[in-house]
Amino acid sequence: MAKRYLSKEWKESMALRLDYNNMMSEFVGEEQGYTKKDIDKLKPMAAAALKKLADERGKGWLGWMDLPFNQKEVVAEINKTAKEIRKTAKNFVVLGIGGSALGPIAVFQALCHLHYNDLSPKLRKGPKFYVEDNVDPERMAALLDVIEPEKTVFNVITKSGSTSETMTQYLIIYNILKEKLGDKAKDHIIATTSSNAGNLIKLAKAEGFKTFYIPDGVGGRFSELCPVGLLPAAVLGIDIAEMLAGAAYQDKVARNKNVYANPALMNAILQYLAMKDGKNISVMMPYADGLKYFADWYCQIWAESLGKEVDNDGKVVREGQTPVKSLGVTDQHSQVQLYVEGPFDKVVTFLAVDKYRTEVKIPEGCEDIPDVHFLCGHTMNELISAEKKATEYALTVKNKVNHTINLPEINAFTIGELLYYFEMETAFEGEFLNVNTYNQPGVENGKNATYAMLGRRGYEAKKQELDSAPAKKDDYIIG
Ligand code: PA5
């Protein structure tokens, strides 16, 4: 059967749409909103960012830009492996953290049944799925209570091949597998890592693990569209070629030199204007449970890529916007009061879905109670859409800037688009802010301190530094 993403018309019908009306002064007033003149003034900056990304695509840390186009053989191998796992494994567990976990979680939530693990095996058609992205001992114990390791495939994902959290999980799991299965333990581990750096690749070679490679030039938080995300997705029965087709579609859109026809570039400009205006909080508010963890993925890429102390010229700039996850409509009853009436320090991004994958009717009832009965005859689909519009309206009349990214529906193609769209927007924003989008020096200090505390060789000086830090005062610890 012909793949739907090969049809130009279908792809066009699935294009994301950016509605930035409520960022404009016509709608939120001159003090908070922006004008076409503001946008036009930044056109040279946008053109420079576009040119730089076009000139350097595929080079340095821009390897992620090629992922929609250069993985034909990898996709075939992933699909082959996934088919086997779907036939044989009862569980598939990702061991990883940060960029090696947030993408798989987001895609699982978006494209699988919302109670996937609770479905019967017949309906699920594949293994149960878990992503262990912490080193909370209770969580590891809880996982071991619900899976049988010998009926499970573990996908250890780490770009650096040396992240303590992931390697700790690996040590625990592989030890259990070896105790239970001896020489066959290796068949239950798949390593996804760099081909030339870190310890996991050495272990994979020594032990004989099946291995997928994270290409050079693809950093953790830009890695969802390589084997990091593609293998878990394929194991879940998701059409990964369609996901990549969605990303490729957005790649074309994001190359458009006309800022008024390039949503990722336009949004980067608007966020830049907002940041320079003191709006240092970026709220990501999907109106779909399927996109709930997409907001977590966004929080990482936006925070870790743009939150930087110094710029590319070494000047102290302390850039970045604090990303916040909010779920519509749930957080209307939690955070929206603050967004509507609190300070002018936020940009709210709504993710809206035109067509949900199902329709639920609200039945007749409560005829004697008009305040409840008005709901009858409508659908939950109408209700959630009306609530999104109502929240948008409530913010806008209070001059709170907000914009909406519309997905025609949630499917593998639109999720591929959405991932790539935000990768592009982040890359553009990093260029505008003149920061290194792809490093995370602020994370390294904490990592090194952990190594020192646990006695890792080579971190003796760090240990001394920690030991000589002022001791905490008991006076300030109460309770
Ligand atoms: O974006 C990044 O590079 C980080 O957030 C990493 O994904 C995270 O630290 C995990 O690293 P690794 O994949 O090397 O284990």
| DSSP secondary structure, 367-435, as one string | TT-HHHHTTTTSBHHHHHHHHHHHHHHHHHHTT--EEEEEESS-SHHHHHHHHHHHHHHHHHHHHHHT-
Tell me the CA–centroid distance for residue 87 and ligand 1, in Å.
30
Distance, in Å, from the CA atom of 38 to the CA atom of 459, rounded to the nearest integer, reads 50
- Choose which residue among 61, 97, 200 to substitute to test ligand 1 binding: the one with the highest number of ligand atoms within 8 A of its C-beta: 97
Q: Please report the atom of ligand 1 found closest to the CA of residue 165.
A: 15
Predicted confidence (pLDDT) per residue in 364-408, tens digit: 999 999 999 999 999 999 999 999 999 999 999 999 999 999 999
pLDDT of residue 445: 87
Question: Which residues lie below 8 Å from residue 160, measured CB to CB, with a gap of 6+?
Answer: 194, 197, 198, 220
Pairing of strands 128-132, 91-95: parallel
Predicted confidence (pLDDT) per residue in 165-174, tens digit: 999 999 999 9
Distance, in Å, from the CA atom of 94 to the CA atom of 105, rounded to the nearest integer, reads 9
Distance, in Å, from the CA atom of 45 to the CA atom of 148, rounded to the nearest integer, reads 55
Q: Which SS3 state, helix, strand or coil, does residue 301 take?
A: helix
Four-residue CA torsion sign, 411, 412, 414, 415: positive
Distance, in Å, from the CA atom of 143 to the CA atom of 140, rounded to the nearest integer, reads 5
Q: Which SS3 state, helix, strand or coil, does residue 107 take?
A: helix
For residue 222, count other CB atoms closer than 10 A to its CB: 28
pLDDT of residue 272: 98
Q: Cα–Cα distances in Å, from 257 out to 65, 139, 326?
A: 17, 48, 32
Each residue's pLDDT, cut to its tens digit, for the chain (479 residues) gives: 789 999 999 999 999 999 999 999 999 999 999 999 999 999 999 999 999 999 999 999 999 999 999 999 999 999 999 999 999 999 999 999 999 999 999 999 999 999 999 999 999 999 999 999 999 999 999 999 999 999 999 999 999 998 999 999 999 999 999 999 999 999 999 999 999 989 999 999 999 999 999 999 999 999 999 999 999 999 999 999 999 999 999 999 999 999 999 999 999 999 999 999 999 999 999 999 999 999 999 999 999 999 999 999 999 999 999 999 999 999 999 999 999 999 999 999 999 999 999 999 999 999 999 999 999 999 999 999 999 999 999 999 999 999 999 999 999 999 999 999 999 999 999 999 999 999 999 998 888 999 999 999 999 999 999 999 999 999 999 99
Residue of minimum CA distance from atom 15 in ligand 1? 158
| 8 token code pair | 């130009």
Q: Considering only CA atoms, which of 417, 357, 393, 396 is closest in space to residue 5?
A: 417
pLDDT of residue 87: 97
Four-residue CA torsion sign, 324, 422, 62, 45: negative
Residue of minimum CA distance from atom 3 in ligand 1? 220
| Contacts by 171-175, CB closer than 8 A, 24 or more apart | 172/140, 173/93, 173/95, 173/149, 174/207
End-to-end CA distance of the chain: 67
pLDDT of residue 306: 98
CB 452 within 8 A of CB 462: yes
Q: What angle do CA 271, 277, 278 make, to 5 degrees?
A: 95
Tell me the CA–centroid distance for residue 163 and ligand 1, in Å.
8
Q: Where are the beta strands (DSSP E) in 44-116?
A: 91-95
Q: Which residues contact ligand 1 via a Cβ below 6 A?
A: 97-100, 158-160, 163, 166, 219-221, 304, 440
Residues forming the active site:
304, 333, 447
Question: Which residues lie below 8 Å from residue 440, measured CB to CB, with a gap of 6+?
Answer: 304
Q: Compute the CA torsion angle 350, 355, 360, 362 (nearest 10 deg).
A: 70
Q: Where are the beta strands (DSSP E) in 256-401?
A: 281-286, 322-325, 346-353
CA 443 to chain centre: 18
Q: Which SS3 state, helix, strand or coil, does residue 14 take?
A: coil
Tell me the CA–centroid distance for residue 450 and ligand 1, in Å.
16
- Choose which residue among 160, 199, 222, 228 to substitute to test ligand 1 binding: the one with the highest number of ligand atoms within 8 A of its C-beta: 160
Q: Peptide bond before 329: cis, by omega within 30 degrees of 0?
A: yes
For residue 318, count other CB atoms closer than 10 A to its CB: 9
- Radius of gyration, alpha carbons of the chain: 24
Q: Cα–Cα distances in Å, from 162 out to 25, 167, 383?
A: 49, 7, 47
Element (H, E) at 252: helix 240-253
pLDDT of residue 147: 98
Question: Which residues lie below 8 Å from residue 14, measured CB to CB, with a gap of 6+?
Answer: 246, 249, 408, 409, 411, 413, 414, 417
Q: Please report the atom of ligand 1 found closest to the CA of residue 96.
A: 15
Tell me the CA–centroid distance for residue 157 and ligand 1, in Å.
9
Question: Which residues lie below 8 Å from residue 445, measured CB to CB, with a gap of 6+?
Answer: none
Residue of minimum CA distance from atom 2 in ligand 1? 220
Question: What residue has token string 């199902």?
Answer: 358
Tell me the CA–centroid distance for residue 427 and ligand 1, in Å.
17
